[in-house]
Amino acid sequence: MNRHVAFLVALAAVCVSFICSDNACGEIYYRGKIKFPFLFGKKHDYNDILVTRVIDGDTIELETKERIRLIGIDTPEVWESDKLYRDIKRTKKDKATIIEMGKAASRFTKSLVDGKRVRLEFDVEKKDHYGRLLAYVYLVEDGRMVNAELLREGYAQIYTFPPNVKHVEMFRQLQKQAREQNRGLWGY
């Protein structure tokens, strides 16, 4: 009987060790929650992965069901939220205008990435406090950076948080040019 108990204890220790290791897909989030989006041992190739959904102008979803928040940019809100009201206060634009701007940014992002394969580039921090991956997203087909395209065409503004500032100088230049030429949302 003692051998059976010892075996079960050893087996449980191996299982816990596996679950908490980097070999498992499970990741421990704040508040001690463990999330297992796939079976154990499944790794993702972030060099060539499918975008299955555009949540809004600066957030997409991959075939793995992971959400990606585009680093370094911000687009107007599409839904009622605290941020929508902060955007209204900051820009002095009405709610309907902000929401329409958000929808325009979402449509642009959708035209770029929906149903397409992308490559992710990470900066210093890999996830935000909501558990979303933070990334610079590149189209596999032509190498364009989605974050930069949103700024170039005027559908986003710079929104950087150190330490994730790898491309901030390029982003500043793109935003300046879009603003000067009244592209995208700068024309509203």
Q: Which sequence positions are flagged as catalytic?
A: 69, 77, 132
How far is Cα 106 from Cα 119, in angstroms, rounded to an integer? 20
Output the six-digit token pair for 27: 């990741």
- Check: CB of residue 77 under 8 Å from CB of residue 87: yes
Run of H or E residues at 69 = strand 67-70
Run of H or E residues at 119 = strand 117-121
How far is Cα 72 from Cα 147, in angstroms, rounded to an integer? 7
